[in-house]
Structure 1
Amino acid sequence: MFVTGSYDASVRVWDTNTMTDVYSFDLESRVNSAVMSPIADHCLIATAAAEPQIRLCDLRSGALTHSLTGHHGAVLSCAWSPRQEHILFSGGNDGTLRVWDIRRAAACLMSLDQDNAVDRDPLAETNLAHGKGVNGLTLSKDGTFLVSLGLDEKIRCWDTYSGHNTLVNYGSYFRNRFQSCLEAVVSDADVWPPLIYVPSDDHQVLVFGLLDGRLMARLRGAYGRVTSIEKRPAYQELYSGSNDCEILVWEPSSVNASTTEAISENMLDAWSESEEESS
């Protein structure tokens, strides 16, 4: 099965055997993101919608369980922790990035602050992760780092243990102007140093070093705004979708492209559309 969220205000769970939806939840507002935990025993779908709360849909009961309130304005993105099954991250149109423990009555643990003010209340109203809305959240596979994308066209990397901004500078290459969920992708654990792949409104995917922010490559080929990307597990392949109705498949130009030497500045833009897929 898989889960979809839609601008028609519904979250649906689909059975690939019967090619039909087996559950449907009506959220009464546009759904920006709907995600399930990759590790949890619970069967909860966290939803980010055009309302100031996160609703949890339970597959076991087929009903909405409870809501997480704290954002001011629409919630644009959400992501479950890959190491703690009850921890959820959410980004709102109010520029805040919140951390939740869904088991608690006072569920919001902290609101991350881009300035890392040590004397500030972790739930202070002045805490902001971005200057504008936060519409993209992606965690590294081990859950150590959280990458956020903002409508202020900034990329930030957070330490999930401390909740601090790591202050990595990713430059001013990223373009992000639409209030829709836009998720980056973090490379697999066998790639060192780790990379992040970021979809950008200017028809390209940007490849950065996660820990140093260095631009490693620009993947050009889409004729429209890149709206989604995904990697193929255990392969150095990347898929990107754009609003020109095309899906592109990318692969390194050499078998050693997962190493630092293979994606050096001399190899900038050396990634290309898969010859096998484009033939």
Structure 2
Amino acid sequence: MYFPLKRKEYGELRPGKFIRAEATKRAYSIQLSPCKQVTRTHRGGVHSVKIEHIEQQYMLSGGADGRIHVYDLNTTPEADGTIRIKSLQGVTRQDRHQYAVTTLSWFPFDTGMFISSSFDKTIRVWDTNTMTPACTFHMDSRIYCQAISPIASHCLVASAADEPRIRLCDLKSGADTHSLGGHAGSILSVAWSPREEHVLYSGGSDGTIRVWDIRRAAACLRLLDQHNSDSSPLSDTNVAHGGGVNGFTFTGNGHYLVSLGLDEKIRLWDTFTLNNTLVNYGSLWRNQFRFYLQASISDTNVWPPLLYVPSDDHQVLVYELHSGVLLRRLRGAYGRVTCAEYRPGYQELYVGSNDSEVLVWEPVNENDQEMVDNSTLGTFQDTWSDSEDEEQ
């Protein structure tokens, strides 16, 4: 690392290129942390972990026991060097969800509030400081997923539930505003576009992905088609997956959307053209449970970007996003992996599973750098090249 620092000091290396190369090297070399341990707090599986993106300091976890905990990731190391990340606070027995927590979301502009969904048919808005519910939305069926826009001026929370309509809940009024209908069965996943505040994506048990503009009376803009056919944008023959769509994740700039299907296929969509990019991620990934699956993508400083996908066979598969090449298998969990959350500024990965644990994967220590395999080294050495397109 010192030679690149000298090059940067002498003006031979642009700061942006240096940051990108170091972030890429760290992201490609993660290992199961030998010193960071998240204290076991849940009595059932961990279904969701979320790190806020304002300070990247606090993390939420929600589990099958209906409980939610908040952690400080910047915990001071102990005398032996071990960093034990303990729960700062959790919801009380009286306030917890009656059934399993399915998803968690931080309020995008303030860490003092977060949102949860549960199989108890409620979406709750929480005060982080007191860990008490400030508002509760009661739904008609169990909820697989909820989402709030990371950029919007509106405060609408979209719900994906065991019914064929999306309900939009307004945090300002504490009531439902309207619903979006069109799916032929349950809705398993929803996600707001990170670049267009009124655009919403939904994935259903019918294998379709619908694109909505919530401002329009005829809100559905398009059904994504895995074959990129010339059929009508709203044709019933447009199908994204051969099974239910139970996971979404966007790249940081919102250019690409990754969808996860119960047909055990991963698809990458271009959100400008709304076409399938036809990247082949192989057939090694396992996904058989009708439950929201939380995947994650590395930050924009990592090139080529990495996709982290939880798999039913107790591991996280790490793919190169744009080529579909399987780079790593992150093993360590003793149960089905349900969620993977990337911490951008630190190139760390937090993984929750049905064994009630949250595992931490972090970049390999400088002293152990020789453990990184040659193929991975080649990847981030390419990042130093002056011929690299700075706009990628």
The Cα shift of 1:251 comes to: 1.3
Q: Secondary structure at the match of 2:346?
A: coil
Structure 1 position 173, deviation (Å): 1.1
Instruction: Indicate the residue corresponding to 1:171 in structure 2.
Output: 282
CA contact (8 A) 1:44 1:57 kept: yes
Cα displacement (A) at 1:254: 5.0
Q: 2:25 maps to which residue? A: none
Residue number in structure 1 paired with 2:131: 19
Alignment partner of 1:59 out of 171, 181, 187: 171
Counterparts of 1:237-248 in structure 2, within 5 Å, are 237-248=348-359
| Native 8 Å contact 1:168 1:212 kept in 2 | yes
Match of 1:124 in 2: 235
Match for residue 35 of structure 1 among 118, 142, 147: 147
- Runs of 4+ with deviation above 2 angstroms: 252-255, 261-267
Does structure 2 conserve the Cα–Cα contact (< 8 Å) formed by 1:137 and 1:183?
A: yes
Residue 235 in structure 1 maps to residue 346 in structure 2: yes
Letter in 2 for 1:95: G
Could you say which structure has the greater relative contact order, defined with CA pairs below 8 angstroms and 6 or more residues apart? 2
Aligned CA RMSD, in angstroms, stands at 1.8
Query: Which residue, 59, 76, 95 being the options, matches 2:207?
Result: 95
What's the counterpart of residue 71 of structure 1? 183
CA shift, 1:264, in A, is: 2.9
Q: Contact (CA 8 Å) 1:209, 1:216: kept in 2 or not?
A: yes
Higher Rg of the two aligned structures:
2
Q: Which residue matches 1:221?
A: 332
Q: Deviation at 1:263?
A: 8.1
Deviation at 1:231, TM superposition (A): 1.0
- After superposition, the C-alpha distances for 1:37-93 in whole angstroms (9 at most, x for unaligned) are 000010000100000010000011100000011101000001000011000001000
Give the SS at the match of 2:293: coil
Of the three residues 180, 194, 209, the one matched with 1:82 is 194
User: What secondary structure does 1:127 align onto?
Assistant: coil
Counterpart CA distance in 2 for 1:47 and 1:263 is: 45
Give the distance between the partners of 1:228 and 1:182, measured in 2 at CA: 6
Q: CA deviation at 1:265?
A: 6.0
Provide Cα deviations, 1:92-131, integer angstroms capped at 9, x if missing partner. 00000110000001000000000000x2001100110000
Relative to the length of structure 1, the TM-score reads: 0.91
2:164 alignment partner AA? P
The letter for the 2-side match of 1:177 is: Q
The residue number in structure 2 matching 1:158 is: 269
Q: Distance in 2 between matches of 1:176 and 1:114?
A: 18
Distance 1:68 1:264 in 2: 47
Q: Structure 2 counterpart of 1:7, which letter?
A: F
Relative to structure 1, the CA distance from residue 194 to residue 263 in structure 2 (aligned partners, 3 Å threshold; closer, same or farther) is farther
Whole-angstrom CA distance in 2 between matches of 1:74 and 1:17: 34
Structure 1: runs of 5+ lacking an equivalent: 268-279
Aligned residues: 263
Query: Identity across aligned pairs (percent)?
Result: 64
The runs of 5 or more residues in structure 2 that have no matched partner are 1-112, 379-392
Say yes or no: does 1:48 pair with 2:155: no
Whether the 8 Å contact between 1:217 and 1:263 is mirrored in structure 2 is no
SS at match of 1:234: helix
- The residue type equivalent to 2:206 in the other structure is D
Shift of 1:229: 1.0
Q: Can you list the C-alpha shifts for 1:134-180, whole angstroms capped at 9, x where unaligned?
A: 00011111010000000000000000011100000000111000111
Q: TM-score, normalised by structure 2?
A: 0.65
* Distance change (3 Å), C-alpha of 1:103 and 1:244: same
Partner of 1:148: 259
